[in-house]
């Protein structure tokens, strides 16, 4: 990997953190909208967002309400405040499109954001296995029964 100056990599990291936070926010809005029956738009400073999503692998599906969700985040650069907007469209419980738009005030920010979009697109999204004809599934290897029983035992011990 080519060496990068600290400020470059810090700015790159900030952009990545910003976009990740926006995805979290957009997902949160989708969940919120499911309950509240509305579609929302939110503007937040991702640097102050402490939400994290740690999805548990499980057979259950989270229900999302159809709609388009967007979130805009701002971050500080030496050249001033920059913003990125992430837009997700959800239909039938599946993210059908996702898009990242950027607005830059400085040439440098434009370059970094273009670089980000080039390197981090596409974000993949899931489709329901019931809607697709598949012969097989590949992912992490199915676990032996003993392993799953051990995990269950530890979980119940933790609750006791």
Q: Which residues bind other proteins (CB under 8 A)?
A: 16, 19-20, 23, 55, 57-59, 61-62, 94, 97-99, 119-130, 132-147, 149-151, 154
Nearer to other proteins, 114 or 154 (CB): 154
CB of 51 to other proteins, least distance (A): 15
Integer Cα distance of 110 and 73 in angstroms: 15
Q: Are 69 and 40 in contact (CB under 8 A)?
A: yes
Integer Cα distance of 6 and 121 in angstroms: 24
Q: Look at residue 64 and give its three-state secondary structure.
A: coil
Nearer to other proteins, 6 or 55 (CB): 55
CB of 80 to other proteins, least distance (A): 25
Q: Are 88 and 72 in contact (CB under 8 A)?
A: no
β-pairing, 80-91 vs 94-103, is: antiparallel
Nearer to other proteins, 38 or 154 (CB): 154
CB of 119 to other proteins, least distance (A): 8
Nearer to other proteins, 58 or 107 (CB): 58
């Amino acid at each position: 990997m080519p060496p990068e100056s600290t400020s470059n990599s810090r700015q790159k990291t900030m952009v990545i953190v910003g976009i990740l936070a926006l995805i979290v926010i957009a997902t949160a809005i989708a969940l919120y909208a499911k309950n509240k029956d509305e579609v929302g738009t939110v503007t937040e400073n991702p640097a102050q967002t402490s939400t994290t999503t740690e999805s548990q692998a499980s057979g259950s599906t989270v229900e999302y309400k159809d709609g388009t969700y967007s979130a805009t985040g701002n971050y500080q650069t030496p050249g001033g405040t920059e913003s990125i907007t992430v837009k997700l469209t959800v239909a039938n419980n599946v993210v059908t499109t996702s898009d990242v738009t950027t607005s830059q005030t400085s040439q440098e920010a434009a370059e970094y954001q273009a670089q980000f979009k080039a390197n981090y697109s596409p974000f993949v999204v899931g489709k329901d296995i019931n809607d697709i004809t598949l012969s097989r599934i590949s992912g992490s290897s199915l676990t032996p029964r003993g392993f799953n029983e051990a995990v269950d035992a530890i979980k119940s011990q933790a609750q006791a």
